[in-house]
Amino acid sequence: MAAPPEVAFGQLLFAGIAFMLLAGGSLVVFLVTYQKRLLHQQLHLRLAEAEHQQQLLTAIIEAQEGERERIGRDLHDGIGSTISTAKLLLNRLETLPPHADDAQGLLKLIREIMSTAVHDVRSISHSLYPAVLARFGLAEALQHLVDVSNETGQLPVVLEIDYPRPLTLAQELALYRIGQELVHNAFKHARGATRLLVQLQQTGARLTLVVEDNGCGFGAAPGRGAGLRSIEVRVQMLQGRLSREAAAGQGARMVVELEARPE
Do residues 249 and 219 touch, judged by C-beta distance below 8 A?
yes
Q: What is the pLDDT of residue 219?
A: 45
Across all residues in the chain, what is the average pLDDT?
80
What pLDDT digit, counting tens, does each position of 10-30 carry? 777 777 788 888 888 888 888
Q: What is the pLDDT of residue 222?
A: 46
Please tell me the distance from the alpha carbon of residue 75 to that of residue 83, in angstroms, as a whole number. Answer: 10
pLDDT of 57 strictly over 80 = no
* Residue of 160 and 66 predicted with greater confidence: 160
Inter-helix orientation angle 138-151/169-189, to 10°? 20
pTM, to two decimals: 0.60
Please tell me the distance from the alpha carbon of residue 87 to that of residue 251, in angstroms, as a whole number. Answer: 44
What pLDDT digit, counting tens, does each position of 82-126 carry? 888 888 888 887 887 766 677 778 888 888 888 888 877 777 766
Q: What is the pLDDT of residue 220?
A: 42
Handedness of CA 24, 25, 28, 29 (dihedral sign): negative
Please tell me the distance from the alpha carbon of residue 263 to that of residue 261, in angstroms, as a whole number. Answer: 7
**Mean pLDDT (whole number) for 180-206:** 88
Please tell me the distance from the alpha carbon of residue 156 to that of residue 142, in angstroms, as a whole number. Answer: 15
What pLDDT digit, counting tens, does each position of 201-231 carry? 999 889 999 999 988 765 444 455 667 777 8
